[in-house]
Structure 1
Amino acid sequence: MTRADDEAVTDFRERFAQIMVESGMPRTAARVYSALLVTDSGKLSAAELAGQLGVGAPAISGAVKYLVQVRLVERGREPGTRNAYCRVHEHTWHRYISQSDPVLLQVQSGADEGVAILGADSPAGRRLDETRRFFAFMREEIRESMAKWQRLQAAEHERD
C-alpha cells in the first residue's frame, strides 16, 4: 500500500470509529474495534493497537476488556508463543445480535413481573405490558432475522 492508501485507511478507521461512538460505544473501544475491522487478519496485539491509535497500554486494555465483555472481540495467543492478540469474532454482528436474547428475555420477564404486581389496568401496568410485548416481539423478529441471514450467507457461499 502507498502512503496515500495508508492515510485513506486511517481516515476511514477514524470515521467508522466515530459512527460507533455516536451509537453509544466508548471512544477508545470504538477505535480499537475499527482498527481490528480494517486489518486483513482481523487481529492485532495490544502493542500494535497502541501504536496505531497513539494511546497507552492501559487505554487499550480497558477498551479490549469492554469489547470482550460485549462479545465483539476475543483475546487469544499465538500457538506456541506468549504473544497475545485481540481478534474480531468471525461473523461478529450475527454473533452479537444472536447472543442478545438472554438480555431481551430478562427485560421481558421483568416487565411481566411488573404487570403482575401493578395490574394490567393501571397506567404503569399498561406501560410495562407494552414493554413485555415489545421485547417478546423483538426476540421473535431477531430469531427469524438471524435464520434468514444464515440462509442468505449459505446461498452466498454456494455461489463462491
Structure 2
Amino acid sequence: MPGGRLTQQERQQIAAGLADGLAYAEIARRLDRPTSTITREVMRNGGPTAYRADLAHRATERRTQRRRQAAPRGAEPVSLPYGRDAKAVQEYEETLTTVLMTSGLPTMMARVMACLYTTDTGSLTASELAQRLRVSPASVSKAIAFLEGLDLVRRESAEGRRERYVVDDDLWYKSMIRSARDNDQFVQTARQGVAVLGAGTPAATRLENAARFLDFVTEGLLRAAEQAREILNTETPQAGTADPSSDRG
C-alpha cells in the first residue's frame, strides 16, 4: 500500500470518484489507500459536494509550507509526555478531527475538539488553543461559541481574567440531553402536523410514524444516558504514574 502524501493525480481521481457518486471506501480501494486517508482529504477540503482537486492540492502545499516555517530545519524534536511519539499523536489528532467532521462538526470546531481531547488536562485557554492549532484567536473564539451552543465545551475561570475551555465526560451527558430535547421538539411539531394534514392521510401517517420512532428512541437515549452517568460517576479511576513533563500532547 503506498504511503506518503496524496499526489495531484490521486486528488483528481478522488474528485472523479466523488462526481461518480462512489463511496470513500471504493475510492480508497481504487487508489490502494486507507479509507481514512480519503475521508480526511475530502472533509478537510470542502466536503464531498465542494471538493476540487486543484484547490485541495494547493491548500496542502500551503499547510506543508507553514509547518516547515513553524519547525525550521535542525530544530530540536518536541518532547511529549509519557514517551509519546509526536508523529503518531499528530496523525491521530487528524484522524479524530476527520471523525468529528464526518459527524457534522465544521472543520475548525472539530480541530478544537480534537485538540482538547488529546490534551491530558482536557482544558486549554484560548491563547493555548490558538498557538497549538496555529490559528487566530478570533477563529478559536468562534469555534468555542459554536461548541458551547451544543454543550460540547464548557468554560472555567483561569488565572487572572482568562478562561479555560474544558471537555469532560459530563459534557457528553449534557449533549445527549440536548439531543433528546431537540427530538422532543420535533415530535411535538410532527404531531401538530398530523392534526393539520388530517389523521390517516399519507403525509400525516408519515409524520406520526416519525414521531413514534423518535419517542421510542429518545426514551431509550435518556435512560441509557442516566445509567451511563451513574456508572461512570461511581467508578474509581485507576491510579497512574504522574508524568513530570509538562502537558504538551
TM-score (norm 1): 0.88
- Aligned-partner residue type, residue 149 of structure 1: A
Sort the Cα spacing of 1:151 and 1:64 in 2 relative to 1 into closer, same or farther, 3 A. Answer: closer
* Runs of 5+ unmatched residues, structure 2: 1-77, 240-249
State the alpha-carbon separation in 1 of the partners of residues 181 and 85 from structure 2: 42
**CA deviation after TM superposition for structure 1 residue 151, in Å:** 4.5
Match of 2:232 among 132, 153, 160: 153
The farther-off stretch of 22-31 and 142-151 is 142-151
Q: Counterpart in 2 of 1:129?
A: 208
Match of 2:137 among 47, 53, 57: 57
Alignment RMSD (CA, Å)? 2.2
Alignment coverage as a number of residue pairs: 159
Q: Counterpart in 1 of 2:170?
A: 91
Deviations 1:30-77 (A, max 9, x none): 000110011111111111111111111121111111011111001222
Sort the Cα spacing of 1:114 and 1:73 in 2 relative to 1 into closer, same or farther, 3 A. Answer: same
* Runs of 5+ unmatched residues, structure 1: none
Confirm or deny that 1:120 pairs with 2:207: no
TM-score (norm 2): 0.58
What secondary structure, in the 3-state scheme, does the structure 1 residue paired with 2:156 have?
strand
**CA deviation after TM superposition for structure 1 residue 154, in Å:** 5.0
State the alpha-carbon separation in 2 of the partners of residues 25 and 154 from structure 1: 28
Q: Counterpart in 1 of 2:185?
A: 106
**CA deviation after TM superposition for structure 1 residue 101, in Å:** 2.3
**CA deviation after TM superposition for structure 1 residue 158, in Å:** 9.1
Q: Determine which structure has the larger helix proportion and give its number.
A: 1
What secondary structure, in the 3-state scheme, does the structure 1 residue paired with 2:235 have?
helix
Report which of the two structures shows the higher radius of gyration computed on alpha carbons: 2
Sort the Cα spacing of 1:146 and 1:18 in 2 relative to 1 into closer, same or farther, 3 A. Answer: same
Q: Counterpart in 2 of 1:141?
A: 220
State the alpha-carbon separation in 2 of the partners of residues 111 and 22 from structure 1: 27
